[in-house]
Chains A and B, each alone.
Chain A
Amino acid sequence: MKHKKKILLLASFLVVLFLAPFASSWPDGLERVAEDLGFADAAREFALPALLPDYTVPGLPWEKLGTVIAGIVGVALVYGFLQLLAKFLWRADGVARGR
């Protein structure tokens, strides 16, 4: 499992580095439906500001670099959060805690 973990983490960084900057900028399914049916404007930004809004680094002029930075930060945050959570939710023998 150790090497599977390494492969997955390596793949995450490769995807962020080489694929994410070239992702299609077309709206996704839900965004397209919202546009076609005319309710896209109902979207509201929550009062709380985002650190990396829409996977960009505010103020950074290089958009693709911003995407990569946002991706690496996001990957690290998700990984760290889940590593912590796994410690609390599962005992070392794999049984879910609190049963």
Chain B
Amino acid sequence: MHIPDGFLTAQVYLPAAGLSAAGLAWGLKRTEKLDEKRIPLLGAMGAFIFAAQMVNFPVAPGVSGHLLGGALAALSLGPAAAGVIMTAVLLIQAFFMHDGGITALGANVLNMAILAPWVAYFTYQAVTRVLPGRFGNTIGIFFASWLSVLLAALAAALELGWSGMFALNVILTTMALWHILIGIGEGILTTLALNYLVQLKPADIAGEAKE
């Protein structure tokens, strides 16, 4: 859901860029502490998310999706670090691959680097509070990932609608429709990656750990 140049008006992309900058700074300030042992993982996590984003999988005839990674980063390294990681991925994609616009970068950061990680983080916490144990952990990861994609897509839809690309309610509905499906892929891939690749428990994200 990388928004290209030309889809957003300045009245939308400028405030989005401002919000993104403020959001990243606030996230870094708010986060108590990133477990020092996890700092070396930042680069590797960004590298993996960049790679995984290249792999589009079909979700319906004529539509594909790919891992977004905001939930994966947030649930392994915390939402503030995830913001930094996702922003790095989006920067390289925009400037070197023209995947996502330069003027739209602020909006893309807002949707995918700030909103998606925080949605995943809070959703995971809420689900595991209701459902403790291994089952709750898996359901929490899956649902948090799914919702992070859906809400990021709806944010993109709002920005497109406010830019006058089409009637807002139609953009919202169609974006929601495809991303409800794409989010299932996000849920499966994030669950697998957290359990078998990163092997980190979301519950012990440093500084925000809860027992």
Contact = CB atoms under 8 A, between A and B. Distances in A.
Report which residue of B37, B39, B99 has the largest number of chain A beta carbons within 10 angstroms of its beta carbon: B39
A96 B31 contact: yes
Interface in A34-86: 34, 36-39, 42-46, 48, 50-55, 67, 70-71, 73-83, 85-86
B50 A12 contact: yes
A36 B49 CA distance: 28
A45 B5 contact: yes
Interface in A1-53: 1-2, 4-5, 7-9, 11-13, 15-16, 19-20, 23-30, 32-34, 36-39, 42-46, 48, 50-53
Contact of A37 (B59, B89, B102, B165): B165
Given A12-B51, A33-B171, A70 B200 contact: no
A29 B182 CA distance: 8
Contacts of B62: 26-27, 32
Binding site of B, secondary structure by majority: helix, strand, loop or mixed? helix
A78 B47 contact: yes
Contact of A8 (B7, B39, B88, B198): B198
A65 B129 CA distance: 47
Interface in B148-164: 153, 156-157, 160
A88 to B, nearest CB: 10
A44 B166 contact: no
B56 A23 contact: yes
Interface stretch (B15-23, B63-71, B116-124, B131-139): B63-71
Given A33-B178, A37-B171, A96-B28, A46 B102 contact: yes
Interface string B1-20: 11111110000000000000
A94 B34 contact: yes
Nearest to B28: A96
Contact of B44 (A8, A34, A51): A8
Interface in B52-80: 52, 54-59, 62-66, 80
21 contacts: A4-B200, A8-B197, A11-B48, A15-B54, A19-B55, A23-B56, A26-B62, A29-B182, A30-B153, A30-B175, A32-B63, A37-B174, A43-B6, A43-B7, A43-B101, A46-B103, A71-B50, A74-B93, A81-B91, A82-B42, A82-B84
Interface of B: 1-7, 28-29, 31, 33-52, 54-59, 62-66, 80, 84-85, 88-89, 91-93, 95-99, 101-103, 153, 156-157, 160, 165-166, 170-171, 174-175, 178-179, 182, 197-200, 206
